[in-house]
Amino acid sequence: MPELPEVETIVADLRPHLTGRTIVRCELLFPTIVRHPEPEDFIDSVAGMRIAGMRRRGKFILVDLENDLVLVVHLGMTGQLRLVDADAPLATHTHAIFTLDTGRHLRYRDPRRFGRLLLGTEESLLASKKMPRLGPEPIDPGFAAEELYRRLRNRRTSLKAVLLDQGAIAGVGNIYADESLHRARLRPDRLAGSLSRKSVQRLHESLRVSLLMAIKNRGSSVDTYRDAWGEIGGQQEKLLVYGRAGEPCFTCGRPLAMIRIAGRSTVFCRRCQK
């Protein structure tokens, strides 16, 4: 699933090309990808709307429109959002096409169909639970280590499970949870509430390092992720543990272990992460 760095890359790619543009029309090739409102209302509501800006919240892409409306795109596991010329071949599993006043297409493609499109005011989408309430952004300069400590200290579940909880911290998924915990030298199955302030400080720093490095390298293309131009990212070449079960740890040389936490494969070093 695309995580914070991948979504941030797509938003940064598209923002200068979409801001100020108008959506002339929308075509839904797989209408049930729209979860709110009804697909017919969605099509009618976005047509003629000017795009005021783009931003990211957690793993969500937010396209700000007029009248406080927000077009929300969640990529699910295999979703891709691309800006292409109108005569570009239509890729299989393309579910939505937004035609812009420039004549270009913004296309949403999702082979596994776990993604979704939403439209409404941010407040109404949150109130109706169509969009979840998210925790703080881990790369926000205002997100301090003390706030992370406060969010962990009373949790009686595994450290990795808390990192995957979008209500606790927004945007972190399986890749960067494993990477951050390795950098912080913390076992993923340790109880979150057992961490000292010093350990939380290491985790806070490792989260920022892991996420910002991945943004710089335009995300990790470990599966289907592609940027807004259809290109792969570069962070997969620099991953320390994710996807490397059984391979030697880059620090100590011991084979990396794999367990399952919160239903997700979790890779770590038994020697370096105590």
Q: What is the pLDDT of residues 72-90, one digit of tens each?
A: 999 999 999 999 999 999 9
pLDDT over 90, % of the chain:
98
CA 124 to chain centre: 22
User: What is the C-alpha separation between 160 and 173, in angstroms, rounded?
Assistant: 9
User: Is the pLDDT confidence value at 1 over 90?
Assistant: no
Query: Do both 207 and 162 map to the same domain?
Result: yes
Residue 85: what pLDDT? Answer: 98
Residue 267: what pLDDT? Answer: 98
Q: Which of 57, 59, 151, 202 is catalytic?
A: 59
**pLDDT tens column, 192-214:** 999 999 999 999 999 999 999 99
**264 is an active site residue:** yes
Residue 132: what pLDDT? Answer: 96
**pLDDT tens column, 126-147:** 999 999 999 999 999 999 999 9
Starting from the edge strand earliest in sequence, which strands make up the sheet with 34-36, in order?
34-36, 116-121, 69-74, 60-64, 53-57
Query: Looking at the domain assignment, is residue 186 inside a domain?
Result: yes
**40 is an active site residue:** no
Q: Which of 2, 5, 39, 188 is catalytic?
A: 2
Q: Which of 155, 244, 264, 271 is catalytic?
A: 264
What CATH number did the domain enclosing 112 receive?
3.20.190.10
Q: How many domains does the chain have?
A: 2
What CATH number did the domain enclosing 208 receive?
1.10.8.50
Query: Do both 115 and 175 map to the same domain?
Result: no
CA 73 to chain centre: 11
Of 127, 162, 188, which residue constitutes the final position of a domain?
Answer: 127
Query: Do both 176 and 256 map to the same domain?
Result: yes
Query: Do both 93 and 199 map to the same domain?
Result: no
Query: Do both 30 and 93 map to the same domain?
Result: yes
Of 64, 95, 127, which residue constitutes the final position of a domain?
Answer: 127
274 band by pLDDT with thresholds 50, 70 and 90: confident
Query: Looking at the domain assignment, is residue 117 inside a domain?
Result: yes
Query: Looking at the domain assignment, is residue 220 inside a domain?
Result: yes
**35 is an active site residue:** no
Query: Do both 122 and 20 map to the same domain?
Result: yes
User: Is the pLDDT confidence value at 223 over 90?
Assistant: no
Query: Looking at the domain assignment, is residue 136 inside a domain?
Result: no
Residue 93: what pLDDT? Answer: 97
Of 80, 100, 127, which residue constitutes the final position of a domain?
Answer: 127
Query: Do both 117 and 161 map to the same domain?
Result: no
Residue 251 sits in which domain range?
A: 145-268
Question: Taking all residues of the chain, what is their mean pLDDT, rounded to a whole number?
Answer: 97
Looking at per-residue confidence, does 154 or 4 come out higher?
4
Q: Which of 3, 6, 8, 179 is catalytic?
A: 3
**107 is an active site residue:** no
pLDDT over 70, % of the chain:
100
Residue 249: what pLDDT? Answer: 98
Query: Do both 211 and 116 map to the same domain?
Result: no
Q: What is the mean pLDDT of residues 235-262?
A: 97
Residue 203: what pLDDT? Answer: 98
Residue 69: what pLDDT? Answer: 98
**pLDDT tens column, 96-108:** 999 999 999 999 9
